[in-house]
Structure 1
Amino acid sequence: MLRETISTEIYTVLLVVCLLLVSVTKLLFPKRFYDFASILLNYRYLKIYARDQKFLDTFEGLLFSNLIIGLSILGFISYNLSSHIDSSSQITLYKLGFAITIIIIIKILIERLVSSILKIDSIISEYLLMKTSYKNFLGLLLIPINALLIYTLNVSQAIIIVFVSLLLLINLIGVLIFIKDNLRLIKNNFFYFILYLCTLEISPYFILYKLITK
């Protein structure tokens, strides 16, 4: 059981930080947060805020911070399950959070560079907003999921797989909705869009899978 192998104190602090980040976001951007919270039900949020994208956005930055913490906790719990590390190894949690942050930021920068080279900025810009928004939404879901894993459930690989599969399914739904709503634009840039997906969406995860399995 997770509670027997590692203190929940650090988890509690981080979950409180996540709740504070979400609360501050809702307080500062009530209208936008309301639209964002219904992102699974309609495409309204992406249509409205695609026109006002900024490289540095406070709203997305706050939710991104929550996402990083949530992913770090989930990743650390999964790692703890297989490696049986103790509370003295909490530094691994911070290293994991730092690594996730760097990987995501570098990936976004490369994606924007490639889209500019392929001259498909218009479609990729909206696509990146969709991905960022859905990932940030998953960050909201990670708060109750991590709380369940830490305080309630007897953690097992099966439970971790179920939750991760649920998160991946929600992210896939976002991609499919984007393709459906931008089908005409994608058809006009089909070759470049497929090249983009294979290069920056499929191959990185394939490489990561190979590294993990080895």
Structure 2
Amino acid sequence: MELRESYINNWATIVIAFCLLLLVIAKWIYKSEFYHLLSAAISNRYIKVSRNENPNHGLRIITVTVYTIGLALWITKLSFTEVQSLLDFKTFLLFLTGLTIFILAKRYFSMMIASLMKFDEILELIEYHRNTYRAVLGILLIIVNLLIYYTFHDSIVAVRLISIVSIFMFVIYNFIILYTYSKSLLQHSFYFILYLCALETAPYLLLYKYIMLSRAY
């Protein structure tokens, strides 16, 4: 049992350390902009000021990468809290691969539909807003993972409570995004409904199905 916990801690520590290293590099390269990005957690000012910049800016790419890795690490722990024997690096890589494909596919599928329905500009703003929040949530996920892998790793109740709070924060941030751009999207009510169904609901149902299949595997 001790060897098993040591193995889990070893690979999880390496993954978390890698995420922290990416954040240190981002802070070192982008300096003040890094702190402005963090301010998006409590204020929309940074998003309003910077929304016309390149969406593929290096800082955003690094922080979204940290978010994706942190999310995969969290889902791995949450999925196999009761079955520690399946909590390994291979399972983590499986979830990370699925999440990466999911995020990229959702992004490009969204762009395709937006182009066909003529609301490209609105979608670009939504995606920029979303990626900014992902950057903030990526840092939150590092804290969450430290708690569930080290501090409360043996407590199923604690892991689930921490996860519920985290999910609640994810829902709030997504609600803020939809509320912020709802007026623009409601000008095209049919497209707005299609957007919610095709791009904001169906992909997450597919992701849930993928996670369930991964658990069975």
TM-score by length of 2: 0.84
Report the equivalent of 2:70: 70
* Residue type of the alignment partner of 1:11: A
1:196 partnered with 2:195: yes
- Contact 2:69–2:96 under 8 Å retained in 1: yes
Q: Deviations over 1:69-96 (max 9, x none)?
A: 2122212222332333267x42222222
> Which SS does the other structure have where 1:51 is aligned?
coil
> Which SS does the other structure have where 2:51 is aligned?
helix
Report the equivalent of 1:82: 82
> Which SS does the other structure have where 1:131 is aligned?
helix
TM-score by length of 1: 0.85
> Which SS does the other structure have where 2:85 is aligned?
coil
Closer/same/farther in 2, CA of residues 202 and 35 from structure 1, 3 Å limit: same
1:103 partnered with 2:102: yes
> Which SS does the other structure have where 2:82 is aligned?
helix
Report the equivalent of 2:146: 147
Report the equivalent of 1:34: 35
Q: Which runs of 5+ in 1 are unaligned?
A: none
* Residue type of the alignment partner of 1:206: L
Closer/same/farther in 2, CA of residues 3 and 160 from structure 1, 3 Å limit: farther
Tell which deviates more after alignment, 92-101 or 202-211. Answer: 202-211
Q: Tell me how large the CA RMSD over aligned residues is.
A: 2.6
* Residue type of the alignment partner of 1:195: L
* Residue type of the alignment partner of 1:50: R
How far apart are the structure 2 equivalents of 1:152 and 1:176?
Answer: 30
Closer/same/farther in 2, CA of residues 118 and 64 from structure 1, 3 Å limit: same
- Contact 1:130–1:174 under 8 Å retained in 2: no
1:24 partnered with 2:19: no
Report the equivalent of 1:61: 61
Closer/same/farther in 2, CA of residues 151 and 129 from structure 1, 3 Å limit: same
* Residue type of the alignment partner of 1:20: L
* Residue type of the alignment partner of 2:26: T
- Contact 2:40–2:46 under 8 Å retained in 1: yes
% same residue: 25
Report the equivalent of 2:13: 12
- Contact 2:126–2:181 under 8 Å retained in 1: no
Q: Which runs of 5+ in 2 are unaligned?
A: none
1:186 partnered with 2:209: no
Closer/same/farther in 2, CA of residues 2 and 184 from structure 1, 3 Å limit: farther
